[in-house]
Each structure stands twice: as structure tokens, then as C-alpha cells.
């Protein structure tokens, strides 16, 4: 799996907005310092962090600010992983490269698959043969053979937008943190831990009882 061009934004306004219900903006101690590349550089103050964590613990109806911290990232992952990711429909959007339109454009090699060494050479040979036959004849029978026999380890790139509430759900102990697929328990979790204040907000159960 590959994670590229991660952007995180609106942390400061989300934290400040968490004080709207009690008009307690005067207690806010966070500082907005602009952007470091595509990552918003906000320093969350002690008062604001305490409030944020109490709202997270109080439940989804109270931690609306988490749905206002936005993340965008390009993820290249196998089809079998995307099928599981697609169960998170609410609050996530993904725009993918087109298998339908672009599958026949470039040679099929081991690098086109997650753990390409697990793919039998004959499988790649057959797929590449179908691809070449389609390009030479434009007969859709060959394209159908190619798409029908494509292994689920085929790598697809999608640009994904989501928020910290989505990530809290995905990374919770009961969800993907200890998943038997290392694409979740290792690759995705490791990436999520690199996000600003991931430990304090997304992996809060590790630091707050």
C-alpha cells in the first residue's frame, strides 16, 4: 500500500467551534500557525485539548468538531482492501483511477499487484496476453476475459477525503487496529498515526481512560 499527498486542514476552526455550545471562546488557548506543506500547523492548547477529549469520550453526538477536521490522501491499495474500506460510506468520498477505461493501457507486471510475488507467473502471462489481444483486435471478448480474471490483489489508486470522526471509527480497537489484514493493522494504522494530534484525538483510548 502507498499513501501520498496527505492534506489535513481546519483543525483550528474545528477546535474553536467546539466551544460554541457554551460560548467559552475566551478559554481557547490554541494557536494557528499556518501550513507546513499540506498539513495545517495548529498548536492545540491544554484547555482546548482537555475539552476536545472530554467531548470525544462523551459520544458521537457531542464530538461534532471531529467531523470538521478534514483529511485528503491518495491511497494505492489492492481491490480486496478497497472492498472493506467501502463499508465506511458515511463521510468518506473516493475518486478512483478507472479499471474500466485504463486497464488495457499499460503492461501488466508483478508491480501491478499487492505482494506481486504471490501472483503466479502464468496468471500475469495470461492477463498480459488478454490485454495485448484486446489492443490488437479491439474485440471486447478479450477485454472481458481480462476484467473477469483480474485478481483482487490488483492495485488501484484513489483520492480519498474523510474526517477525524471517520478515522476514529476505523482506528478503534474494535475495528481495524488489530485486523488480520496487515493493510489495515499495519499500513493504514501506521499512516493514521502520522496525522496531527492522532494520538490525542484518534487513538485517544491509548492515552485517556
pLDDT tens, residue by residue, 32-86: 999 999 999 999 999 999 999 999 999 999 999 999 999 999 999 999 999 999 8
Please write the tens of the pLDDT for every residue from 76-94.
999 999 999 988 877 899 8
C-alpha span between 56 and 168 (Å, rounded): 9
What is the third-level CATH fold of 2-94+156-206? Answer: Gyrase A; domain 2 (3.30.1360)
The pLDDT value given to residue 175 = 67
* 140 phi and psi angles, rounded to 5 deg: -65, -15
The pLDDT value given to residue 97 = 80
Assess whether pLDDT exceeds 80 at residue 176.
no
The pLDDT value given to residue 103 = 82
The pLDDT value given to residue 61 = 93
Domain spans of the chain, in order of start: 2-94+156-206, 104-149
Please write the tens of the pLDDT for every residue from 121-171.
899 999 999 999 999 999 999 999 999 999 999 999 999 999 999 999 999
Locate 132 and state its grid cell.
495485448
Give me the residues paired with residue 71 across strands: 8, 162
Overall pTM > 0.85: yes
Amino acid at each position: 500500500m502507498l499513501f501520498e499527498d496527505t492534506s489535513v486542514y481546519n483543525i483550528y476552526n474545528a477546535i474553536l467551534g467546539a466551544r460554541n455550545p457554551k460560548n467559552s471562546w475566551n478559554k481557547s488557548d490554541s494557536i494557528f500557525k499556518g501550513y507546513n506543506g499540506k498539513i495545517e500547523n495548529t498548536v492545540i492548547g491544554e484547555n482546548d485539548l482537555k475539552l476536545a477529549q472530554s467531548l470525544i469520550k462523551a459520544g458521537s453526538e457531542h464530538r461534532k468538531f471531529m467531523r470538521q477536521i478534514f483529511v485528503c490522501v491518495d491511497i494505492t491499495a489492492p481491490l480486496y482492501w478497497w472492498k472493506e474500506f467501502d463499508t465506511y460510506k458515511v463521510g468518506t468520498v473516493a475518486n478512483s483511477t478507472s479499471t474500466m477505461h485504463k486497464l488495457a493501457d499499460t503492461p501488466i507486471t508483478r508491480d501491478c499487484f499487492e505482494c506481486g510475488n504471490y501472483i503466479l507467473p502464468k496468471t500475469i502471462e495470461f492477463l498480459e496476453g488478454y490485454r495485448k489481444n484486446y489492443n490488437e483486435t479491439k474485440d471486447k471478448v478479450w477485454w472481458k476475459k481480462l476484467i473477469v480474471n483480474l485478481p483482487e490483489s490488483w492495485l488501484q489508486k484513489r483520492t480519498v477525503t474523510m474526517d477525524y470522526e471517520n478515522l476514529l471509527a476505523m482506528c478503534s480497537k474494535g475495528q481495524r487496529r488489530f485486523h488480520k489484514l496487515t493493510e489495515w493493522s499495519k499500513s493504514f494504522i501506521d499512516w493514521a498515526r502520522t496525522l496531527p494530534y492522532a494520538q490525542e484525538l484518534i487513538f485517544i483510548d491509548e492515552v485517556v481512560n
